[in-house]
Amino acid sequence: MKGLAVALLCVLAVTHFGYDAIALGYPDQAAAAKAWFYMLRGIEGVVLFAVVACLTKSLPVLLVCLLGMFEEGMTAACRAGKPIGESPGYAAFSGLCGQEWHTVGLVGLGLVALGIAYDIGRDRAKERT
């Protein structure tokens, strides 16, 4: 667990204190710092969901973690796909990767929610018998 603590501390340090140093290499350092912080937060989210996924024995928690890893990974990847030194455009209900990926995420969220509801209902039915 000490190795995990060191790894998490590194992720924390790079995410919250590294983006300014990375942005020094860009003409618009303020825009680059915002972009890098956004991407690093996505990577941080993937790491944290992965840790919880590795520690859980619960299928519903694992499913939420997998969806969280996907969504956080998309956050980082989609922002990385835009010019770093500029603010990306915004369209409501489309996310940075576009409407298609936004829809995929919503469908995944709905399926995981249905799976959790099914699991809760199954457990309640077992308790009654």
Residue 114's domain comprises 2-83+90-128
CA separation for the pair 6, 4 (Å, rounded): 5
Q: Residue 44 — very low, low, confident or very high, per pLDDT cuts 50/70/90?
A: very high
Kindly report, residue by residue over 65-85, the tens digit of the pLDDT: 999 999 999 999 999 999 997
- Percent share of the chain, pLDDT over 90: 77
Query: How many Cα atoms sit within 13 Å of 47 on the Cβ side?
Result: 18
Total domains, the chain:
1
Question: Which of 42, 39, 23 shows the shortest CA–CA distance to 31?
Answer: 23
CA separation for the pair 13, 77 (Å, rounded): 20
Residues 6+ apart with CB under 8 A from 74: 42, 95, 96, 97, 101, 105
